Homo-oligomer: A and B are copies of this chain.
Amino acid sequence: MKRTEILIGGVGGQGVILAGILLGTAATVYDGKKAVQTQAYSSEQRGGMARAEVIISGEPIMDPQVRKPEILIALAQDAINRHLHKIKPSGLLVYDADLVEEFPSGPFQTLGMPATSLADREMGSVVMANLILLGGLIKKTGILSVGSMEKAIEASVPAKAKDLNLKAFRCGLELSIQCC
Chain A residues near B (Cβ < 8 Å): 4, 70-71, 90-93, 97-98, 100-102, 105-114, 117, 140-143, 175-179
B residues less than 8 Å from A178 (CB atoms): 90
Chain copies in the assembled complex: 2
Q: Nearest-CB distance from A4 to chain B (Å)?
A: 7
Residue contact B142 to A176, C-beta cutoff 8 Å: yes
Extra A-B contacts (19), CB below 8 Å, given A98-B107, A102-B105: A90-B178, A97-B106, A97-B107, A97-B108, A97-B109, A97-B110, A100-B105, A101-B105, A107-B114, A107-B117, A109-B112, A109-B113, A109-B175, A110-B110, A110-B111, A111-B111, A140-B176, A141-B177, A143-B177
The 8 closest A-B pairs by CB, nearest first: A110-B112, A90-B179, A92-B177, A107-B114, A70-B177, A97-B105, A141-B176, A109-B113
A177's partner among B4, B101, B102, B179 (CB-CB below 8 A) is B4
B residues less than 8 Å from A175 (CB atoms): 109
B residues less than 8 Å from A90 (CB atoms): 114, 177-179
B residues less than 8 Å from A98 (CB atoms): 105, 107
Q: Nearest-CB distance from A100 to chain B (Å)?
A: 7
Query: Whose C-beta in chain B lies nearest to the C-beta of A106?
Result: B97
Bound complex: CA A143 to CA B177 (Å): 9
A109's partner among B70, B114, B143 (CB-CB below 8 A) is B114
Bound complex: CA A175 to CA B112 (Å): 16
Residue contact B97 to A177, C-beta cutoff 8 Å: no
